[in-house]
Structure 1
Amino acid sequence: MGGLTEDPDFLATTFVVIDFETTTPAGYPAQPIEVAALALRYEAGAWKETGRSQSLIRPPTFAPVTPADTAQTGLTPEQLQQAPSPAEALGALDRRLTAGTPYLLVAQHAATEAGVIHNQAEHCPTLARTDFLDTIPLAKHLIPGLPNYKLDTLLAHFGIQQPADRHRAYADVDVTAQVLLRLISAANENAGLGDLAALVKIAGRTAKLNMPTQTGLFDI
C-alpha cells in the first residue's frame, strides 16, 4: 500500500457506508423506509469491520409505499406497519456513533443519502453533522472513461457479483463497501492522493449543517 493508508488522518477515520431506501411522495422530500450502515477502519494493513446496522422504517401516512416502491425494493406496506418510526430507527443509529471519533459517511451518489439525513436531522444530529465521501466522483477520478458511474456499472467493472436483493439497503451497502475498498486500493497507487485531505478534496461532500451560515448583506 502507499501513502494514503499511511496517513494518520486516514487511519484515525471510521468510514461508515450508508444507504437508504425511500418512498418519494409528491410535494415532500424522500422519506426513508429502510436504512443500513457498515462501519470500516483501516488498521494494521487491513480493513476491519467495526459495526453494522440495519432497520426497516415505518413511513409517515403522507408517504405510503407504492407499487413502484415495492417493485424496486420488494418492501410492502404490510412489512413496514410495525417497523420503527424514523425517530426510533435513526435515533438508534445516531447513538452508535462515538463522541470524538472522526467519521466519514460513504455513499454512492451521496447527495441522496445526505438529503435524507438532513431532513431527519432532529432525530440524528450527529449523523447530520457528519460529512460524506461520494464514490461517484472518486470513481470518475480514478477510472476515467467508463460509460457511466452507476453502481451496477462499477460492480461490473470491478467484477463484484450483484446481490440477489439489489435495491435493499444492506445489500447495496455491502457492494458499495466493496467498491469503496477497490477505489481506496487504486487511490493508494495514485501519487496525487497521498492523504485523506486529497481524497476529500476530490470526493468529499460537506454536510449541510456544517456549511457556514450566510447572513444578509445588511443587518437591520
Structure 2
Amino acid sequence: MHGRFDGRPAFLATTFVVIDFEATTPTGHPAQPIEVAALALRYKEGAWTGAGRRASLIRPPAFAPVTPAVTAQTGLTPEQLSQAPGPAEALGALDRRFTADKPYLLVAQHAATEANIIHNQREHCPALARIDLLDTIPLAKYIIPGLPNYQLDTLLAHFAIKKPANRHRAYADVDVTAQVFVRLVSAADEDAQLSDLAALVKIAGRTAKCNMPAQEELFDA
C-alpha cells in the first residue's frame, strides 16, 4: 500500500491492536471472557509489520460456566479453562504491554462486543479500557456496500481470505480480522473521502466507555 496514508503522521504513529475475545454469556450477567488474543500492527515504509502479539485462555467465574454450546462453537472445554489464569492475571499481563506515551487504536469485528467486555473488566486492564476502537463492520459497509451481510465469514469470502481451521478461537479470529482490516485500509487509501486517520475514525470509530463524559444523575436518590 503506497498512498495518501503514507504521509499522514497520525496514521503512521498509531499502533493498531486487533483484539478478539471468546466469552460465555451467563444469564443475568455480562459476558465473561474465556480467551483473549491481540495482534499489534504498525504501518511504516509502505508496509504493515507486526509489533507483537499475545493470546491467553481465561478462567471464567463460577457463575459463568462453559456450556456445551460454547464448547461446540470454540472447542474450549471446562477442563481446559479450569487450569487457565483468571481475568486479573490474563488481562493484567496484556494491559502491561501498552505504554502511556504511544497512541493506540483497538480494531475489532463488531467492536461493541469487545468494548463491553473490556469495560466490564476494566479493573484488571485500566490502560486497555481507555483505548478507543475501530470497528471493521461500519468500515466495510462504507468501502464495500452491497454485501448480503458483514459477518466475518462474509468478509473473508469477499477478500478471498482462507477461513481458519480454528475459527471462533480468539487467536485465529484475530489473524483473519487483521487481514480484513489491512484490505479495508488499502481500499480506503484509494478513496478521496478517506484522507487520513480521522476520516477512518469518523466512519468506524467507537469511543471507549472510560473516555466518555460521566453522565450526571438527573435526580438525587
Distance in 2 between the 1:114 and 1:99 partners? 19
- Aligned with 2:72: secondary structure? helix
Q: Is 1:35 matched up with 2:22?
A: no
Distance in 1 between the 2:84 and 2:144 partners? 40
Aligned to 1:66: 67
Aligned to 1:52: 53
Distance in 2 between the 1:219 and 1:44 partners? 56
Distance in 1 between the 2:57 and 2:135 partners? 24
Distance in 2 between the 1:69 and 1:194 partners? 41
Give 1:6 deviation, angstroms. 2.0
CA RMSD of aligned residues (A): 1.2
Give 1:217 deviation, angstroms. 5.4
Runs of 4+ residues over 6 Å off in structure 1: none
Code of the aligned partner of 2:200: L
- TM-score, scaled to structure 1: 0.98
- 1:2–1:194: 8 Å Cα contact kept in structure 2? no
1:106-125 mapped onto 2 (5 Å cutoff): 106-125=107-126
Aligned to 1:150: 151
- Aligned with 2:40: secondary structure? strand
Structure 1: where are the runs of 5+ without partners?
Answer: none
Residues matched between the structures, number? 220
Aligned to 1:23: 24
- TM-score, scaled to structure 2: 0.97
- Aligned with 1:21: secondary structure? strand
Greater CA deviation, 119-128 or 207-216?
Answer: 207-216
Aligned to 2:105: 104
Aligned to 2:207: 206
Give 1:3 deviation, angstroms. 1.4
Q: Is 1:84 matched up with 2:85?
A: yes
After superposition, the Cα gap between the structure-2 partners of 1:63 and 1:219, relative to the gap in structure 1 and judged at 3 Å, is: closer
- 1:36–1:170: 8 Å Cα contact kept in structure 2? yes
Give 1:53 deviation, angstroms. 0.1
Distance in 1 between the 2:158 and 2:23 partners? 27
After superposition, the Cα gap between the structure-2 partners of 1:165 and 1:215, relative to the gap in structure 1 and judged at 3 Å, is: same
- 1:23–1:31: 8 Å Cα contact kept in structure 2? yes
Code of the aligned partner of 1:56: L
